[in-house]
Amino acid sequence: MDNNKIINSASIIGKGMIILCLLFFLFFLVMVAYWHFDKSAFDLVNVSRAFEAGFGSNGIQFYLNENQKPSNAIILSEISPIMVYWLLLRTSLFVFLSIKMIQSALRIISSMQSLQTFYLGNIKHLRSIGLFAFFSFLLSIFNFYYSQGGFNFHFKTAFAPLILAIASYVLAEVFREGAKLVEEKNLII
């Protein structure tokens, strides 16, 4: 495609999203590492939403003072190490899956820029996006929190990763048909 602005913009945005994912993960990793040295530094960090089911870490809230903190908040300085590691593992998996999906999308964009849209590699990339999205869907269905000798389980159906998985598999089949048509056209010529 000859200097397509949308394709070029999508490529730049995709690369920026990978950088943001890595920066978010690095920030979270530094936060967990610092938590080991000074738990009291996180007295105003609410991680209640991070233990809800759904795609991603669902958000961590930082408060400026004790008055802003809700009474039912799960505070980072008060949770057990195993729950901190669970948050780290879950966040790591979501970041990894997100980066892999973005990388596959960037490979598809790159092949479109080089005029190989219905390239067989794109079918593989679309299927990998579908697979990673399906794993994201499975991971986002549930989450749990262990507190005071009991487990709190959260279940939720996050439809966005499931829709992305289905759409990716459908697009892979469309691209497969397109690749067949291109191959037939090349045989005729």
- Report the candidate in 51, 45, 78, 50 with the shortest Cα–Cα distance to residue 63: 45
The pLDDT score that the predictor gives to residue 168 is 96
Which neighbouring-strand residues pair with 75? 46
- Report the candidate in 124, 132, 94, 131 with the shortest Cα–Cα distance to residue 107: 124
The two three-digit tokens of residue 121, written as one number: 């590699």
- Report the candidate in 133, 121, 128 with the shortest Cα–Cα distance to residue 159: 133
Interatomic CA distance for residues 37 and 148, integer angstroms: 23
Interatomic CA distance for residues 151 and 148, integer angstroms: 8
The pLDDT score that the predictor gives to residue 98 is 94
* 111 in Cβ contact with 117 (< 8 Å): yes
Q: What is the mean pLDDT of the chain?
A: 86
State pLDDT tens for residues 24-77: 999 989 988 998 888 888 888 888 777 777 777 666 777 777 777 777 777 888
Interatomic CA distance for residues 186 and 125, integer angstroms: 23
DSSP 145-162: EEETTEEEEEE---HHHH
Whole-model pTM: value is: 0.84
